[in-house]
Amino acid sequence: MENTETLSSIDPAQIPIGIVGLGLMGCSITTCLLIAGHPVIATAPLPIDLETAETRINDHLTQSYEQEICSKQPTFYLKNLIITEDHHRLEDVMVVIECTLEDISIKKQVYQNIENVVSHRTIITSNTSAIPISLLQKETQFPNRFFGLHWAEPSHTTRFLEIICGDDSDQEKAEWLYKLSHRWAKEPTLVRKDIRGFITNRLMYALYREAFYLVENGYATVDDVDRACRNNAGYWMTLVGCFRWMDLTGVAAYHAVMKDLFPTLHNGSEVPKMIDDLVKAGGKGISNAHGFYDYTPDEAHQWRETFEEFSYEIRRLALKYPVDVVKKKLENEKKAD
């Protein structure tokens, strides 16, 4: 696990990984790691996940084969998977990814179970979306080997991954994880300084807050806001991020707008009433056909299938435009000359 390792020298087949938690994301993360070539020991603290995990992972692998994300049939990858409720099976893994509920008391018990069986050299990570890594580190015996690994769903199709260091994280181990994650078909971000929400959630929740403000104060409907997101930022964000977008479209214009717009943006710290009422009424979104939109059961099912279909199609488009697309084009032009 030396930082001097090059990407080409990292062999996933020699790096067994443990997954703790086999819900929606745990299964798609497992799929991603199997496709990358890792042996995976996947543990399910919740018995109900044992009943559904293998079918869900098999379905992901089948779709990935059909969409040419992987070159082998599911049976090839499933040979490298062990699904169990026995956390002692994690004893030989080199990396553990915890994917449990966003509850520190639950995570604390999970970390104790993990550290009771793994080597002191094993890297332990959490797929938390927002809990500061520095806070979770305090619940472990060896904080220097603990990191955040924040994935996006579906984890086996997206390029997104945040690797987050806590206050006590070993930077060399962080760099090693960063290199390894390129083997997972990611364009990772290494967050060297811990902050609640990391990068993407801080950006997205600023957007969510303003979206609720606009709807709750009568400036727009839910559908209006969604259309604006889809047809503006949604149009260019697969190619560039916000800073490159400003470069492309003229930095000075944004500077001028910020002076007058920033003071008017909502900066409230309360959970918006609209989502609070929805959750208290039992709304979960597509999963129970009760969200910001009204759904029939058929519509909810069709939206879920459409999202899965879109995730594969947008992946194909995104792969045509990697982060270094312009650099590669210039190199090819030089070779042609």
The contacts of residue 226 (CB under 8 Å, 6+ apart) are none
DSSP state of 237: T
Token match 């920033």: residue?
A: 262
| Local structure of 40: helix, strand or coil | strand
Query: Is there a contact between 44 and 83 (Cβ–Cβ < 8 Å)?
Result: yes
Q: What is the pLDDT of residue 4?
A: 46
SS3 20: strand
Residues whose CB falls within 8 Å of the CB of residue 200, separated by 6 or more in sequence, listed in order: 150, 152, 160, 162
pLDDT score for 115: 97
| CA distances for 163 relative to 46, 147, 192, 281, angstroms | 26, 7, 8, 35
Question: Whose structure tokens read 């083997």?
Answer: 183
**3 state DSSP class of 41:** strand
Q: Output DSSP code: residue 131.
A: S
Distances (CA, A) of 167 to 113, 145, 177, 298: 23, 11, 17, 47
Query: Which residue numbers in the chain have pLDDT < 70?
Result: 1-8
Would you state the pLDDT for residue 45?
Answer: 84
pLDDT of residue 48: 86
Query: Residues with Cβ < 8 Å from 289, sequence gap 6 or more?
Result: 295, 296, 297, 299, 300
Cβ–Cβ < 8 Å for 323, 189 = no
**Across the strands, what pairs with 84?**
43
At 281, which amino acid appears? A
% of the chain beyond a pLDDT of 90: 93
What is the rounded CA–CA span in Å between residue 25 and residue 52? 13
Q: Are 129 and 150 in contact (CB under 8 A)?
A: yes
pLDDT at 336: 87
* β-strand partners of 97: 19, 125
CA distance to 163, 184, 323, per residue, from 247 (Å): 26, 30, 15
Phi, psi of 300 (to 5 degrees): -60, -45
Q: What is the pLDDT of residues 27-51, one digit of tens each?
A: 999 999 999 999 999 999 888 888 8
Cα-based distances in Å from 189 to 151, 182, 203, 252:
11, 11, 14, 27
Q: Kindly state the DSSP code that residue 290 receives in the 8-state scheme.
A: B
pLDDT of residue 265: 98
For 90, 130, 170, 221, 311, the CA distances from 51, given in Å and listed in that order, are 20, 28, 37, 40, 25
3 state DSSP class of 26: helix
Query: What number of other Cβ atoms are within 10 A of residue 332's Cβ?
Result: 10
